[in-house]
Amino acid sequence: MSDKDHSSADDQALVRSAQKGDMGAFEELVARHRDKIYARALSMMRNEEEAVDLSQEAWVKGWQRLAQFQGEASFGTWMTRIVINLCLDQLRKHKRQRTESIEAMDEDSGGVERQMPVITVNPTAGLERTELRQRIDKALAKLSYEHRTVLVLHEFEEMEYKEIAKTMECSIGTVMSRLFYARRKMAAILADLRKEEGS
């Protein structure tokens, strides 16, 4: 398959060629999905350099496992799951390396979010796309990795509670409470950012 053919071929055809050892086809697949794979790694890791490295590692793993890809999900989804698992492994390593903060333990056991007053005014209403992205970025960075991961898997990966529980090796109840705290904390952080802007 020539370069011209690669750019005009659909993902399925490229995967079939790549499975036969066509590196050009695999390069085209990387070019098509690299932003999405990187974005997912960045959402989870909150570190550009680490996200680039992990996304590249995911592509190498993808190449190694290409023979196992049966096409049940789309190629993009399949690759996203690979990068998610790599990020989870990395985050678990980080967690083992550092002492868990009191704040993180408080969040896991219920924390202050349960009693927090409801944010009645939408803190992101009227914001431009770039500004909204910056604020979400700041807010995501303030979440513990468990809360951020649940949020990412639910909102971006559109996983159901059961699937998240399996991926994160925890109970469905834990997924539900983590997701609830993550959302409430996000709302509080976004409201604070709105106040800071107003003051």
Partner 1 sequence: MNFETQLKLQAYLDGELPESEAREVAKWLAHDQEVVLLLGELRNTRQAIAGFEAGVRLPESREFYWSKIDRAIGQLERPQPVAQKRPLFFRLQRFLAPVSGALALAVILGITLLNGNTGTTLGETELASEDMGAITFRSESEGMTTVWLYNRGDSEFTDDPAPDSVELQ
Quick count: other Cβ atoms within 10 Å of Cβ 85? 13
**In the complex with partner 1, which residue's Cβ is closer, 23 or 112?**
23
Hey, is 8 helix, strand or coil?
helix
- With contacts defined by CB under 8 A, name the span among 55-63, 68-76, 83-91, 96-104 that binds partner 1: 55-63
Task: Measure the N-to-C terminal CA separation of the chain; round to a whole number of Å.
Answer: 60
How far is Cα 167 from Cα 43, in angstroms, rounded to an integer? 16
Report in angstroms how near the CB of residue 39 gets to partner 1 at its nearest.
4
Q: What are phi and psi of 41, to 5 degrees?
A: -65, -40
Report in angstroms how near the CB of residue 125 gets to partner 1 at its nearest.
8
Report in angstroms how near the CB of residue 32 gets to partner 1 at its nearest.
10
Length of the chain in terms of residues written:
199
Report in angstroms how near the CB of residue 113 gets to partner 1 at its nearest.
10
User: Site residues for partner 1, window 90-119 (CB under 8 A)?
Assistant: 110, 114, 118-119
* DSSP letter for each residue of 77-127: HHHHHHHHHHHHHHHHHHHHHSPPPHHHHHHHTTTTTTTSPP--S-TTTT-
User: Site residues for partner 1, window 5-34 (CB under 8 A)?
Assistant: 23, 27, 30-31, 34
How far is Cα 197 from Cα 199, in angstroms, rounded to an integer? 6
Using the rule CB under 8 A, which residue among 59, 75, 78, 145 binds partner 1? 59
Using the rule CB under 8 A, which residue among 123, 147, 150, 194 binds partner 1? 123
Using the rule CB under 8 A, which residue among 93, 129, 169, 199 binds partner 1? 129
How far is Cα 55 from Cα 82, in angstroms, rounded to an integer? 9
Are the C-beta atoms of 45 and 88 separated by less than 8 Å?
A: no
The site for partner 1 (CB under 8 A) is made up of 23, 27, 30-31, 34-36, 38-40, 42-43, 48, 52, 55-57, 59-60, 63-64, 110, 114, 118-120, 122-124, 129-130, 132-133, 136-137, 140, 151, 154-156, 160-161, 176-177, 179-180, 183-184, 186-187, 190
